[in-house]
Structures are given as C-alpha cells and as structure tokens.
Amino acid sequence: MSNRKPYVGGNWKMNTNSDSSSSLARGVAEACESVQGSVELVVFPPAPYLIGVRSILNSRSSAIGVGAQDLYFEGDGAFTGEISLAMASDCGCTQALAGHSERRHVIGESDELVNAKVKAMLDGDLTCVLCIGEKLEEREAGKTNEVNERQLRTGLADVGQRQMDNVVIAYEPVWAIGTGKTASPEDAQEAHAHIRALINEMFGDDVAARTRIIYGGSVKPSNAATLFDQPDIDGGLIGGASLQVEDFAAIAKAASGA
C-alpha cells in the first residue's frame, strides 16, 4: 500500500450548461462528502461554468477542487479564444489539465505546446495534470511505452524536481476514452509501472514514489476498484461517468478504499 493520496478527477469536457453544471456540482458535493478526506477530488467544468461551480462548492464548504480543462501558456494579450492562467486562478481554479488526448488529437496540440503549458501552470503554482497515452494503432504496433515515454519526457522537459510535487500524470490510452473499452487492470498497471520507472530515471526515486499516476478511459463504478487496486494506479480521470453524480461518487468511494 503506497502512501500516495488517491486522486479522482471529473473531466466534464464540453458538456453541461448553466443549470446542469450547477446541479452536478451540488450533487457531487453532497454525494462525495464522506470521502473528501481520503481522496483528492477535483472537477474540471467547461470554462464558462468555473466560477459558478466554485461558488457552489464554496457555499457547501466542500474540499473538492476545481480545475481548468486547458490553459494557454502566455500571460495575456492577442490570443483570441484562449484562457490564461490568471483568469483560471481568478475563477477559483487550483489545477489544470495539460495535453488531454482530445487537445492533442482533435485540436492538434504538439508535445512542445503541451510542455509550454505544463511549465506555465507550474510556474503559476497550479497543480498540473499531464495527460499522456497511446492511440490504438500505436498500441497495436507495440509502441505503447515508446509513445508514453516521448509524451512524458517532452511534456516534463525543464520541469524542476520540486515542481513535480504539483504534477499528476494521467495515463489515458486514447482507444479506451469514451469507447467503453477499458484497459485491463494488468495492462494499465504495466503502463503505469513503466511511467513510474521513467519518472524515477528523470527525477529520482523519492519523486517517483510520491507522484500520483492516475488512469483514464471508460472508468465506471463496475471496473474502478480493480483498476485502483493495482499498485501503481493512484486513482482516475473520469469522463462520461463524471457527469452522473452516483457514478462519480461510487468511483470516488472505490478510490478511497484502494
């Protein structure tokens, strides 16, 4: 049993509206109250709803964190459509995702752009959840570890050892996201162990032992516990199931027992 605090994030992606984001925040605050001490819980609502969700969680004295799904690395200026770190902080965000596969493969972000975002988040004292993972054709070509290594090394280039305290790694195999296909606990564990070994090589064994590596890709109440029981899986980044209060709460509970 590791002494890493389990982490469960709810990535709402481009879902919800003003009413449903508020009721989801209220529901999650209530349903997850009992596990808040034993699991770090964070929700990542769409940008327009960050302030509303944060204020609902504050009004319930909830320990659930709020994070941005993406941030631009520049401070301010002529970057139409982008959101800065200061804006996210103003809205009550303490965390942000970087390099989600939908940003990499739908929007076209490069490993280098992801690295610039990671560094900006860490320099701005936000916790950064760096998402990595291989596509189906890469897995079938036996390139899982190679892709994870490239995305990890480039994503964390020029990140200092101390800054790693504010980094969570999310391993999200692209073929498992939103498809209902989950990596088997053994396959996920193998990828997580490889990622931890790389962190060890890059930052030393203390950092490797402390860093949370969470799994994402069709995590549901029915498969969460067996995934979280693996020695190198420290929680999950949840998409679809994070939009259902009961499912998200059940997954958070599974993490609290792992």
Residues near ligand 13P (CB under 6 A): 11, 100, 172, 177-178, 216-219, 237-241
- Our CB check for ligand 13P shows the closer of 213 and 241 to be 241
Q: How far apart are CA 183 and CA 22, in angstroms?
A: 32
The CB-of-185 to ligand 13P minimum distance in angstroms stands at 16
Q: Can you say whether the dihedral through the CA atoms of 226, 43, 93, 108 is positive or negative?
A: positive
The CB-of-243 to ligand 13P minimum distance in angstroms stands at 9
Nearest-CB residue for ligand 13P: 239
- Our CB check for ligand 13P shows the closer of 11 and 151 to be 11
- Our CB check for ligand 13P shows the closer of 124 and 173 to be 173
Q: What are phi and psi of 81, to 5 degrees?
A: 90, -15
Q: Where are the alpha helices (DSSP H) in the chain?
A: 18-31, 50-59, 85-90, 101-102, 111-123, 136-140, 144-155, 185-203, 205-210, 221-228, 245-256
The CB-of-85 to ligand 13P minimum distance in angstroms stands at 20
8 A C-beta contact, residue 167 and residue 211: yes
Q: How far apart are CA 202 and CA 162, in angstroms?
A: 12
- Our CB check for ligand 13P shows the closer of 155 and 239 to be 239
* Annotation says 100 is catalytic: yes
The CB-of-225 to ligand 13P minimum distance in angstroms stands at 16
- Active-site residue, selected from the candidate residues 100, 109, 134, 194: 100
- Active-site residue, selected from the candidate residues 134, 172, 192, 194: 172
Q: How far apart are CA 110 and CA 98, in angstroms?
A: 11
8 A C-beta contact, residue 155 and residue 111: yes
Which of the residues are catalytic?
100, 172
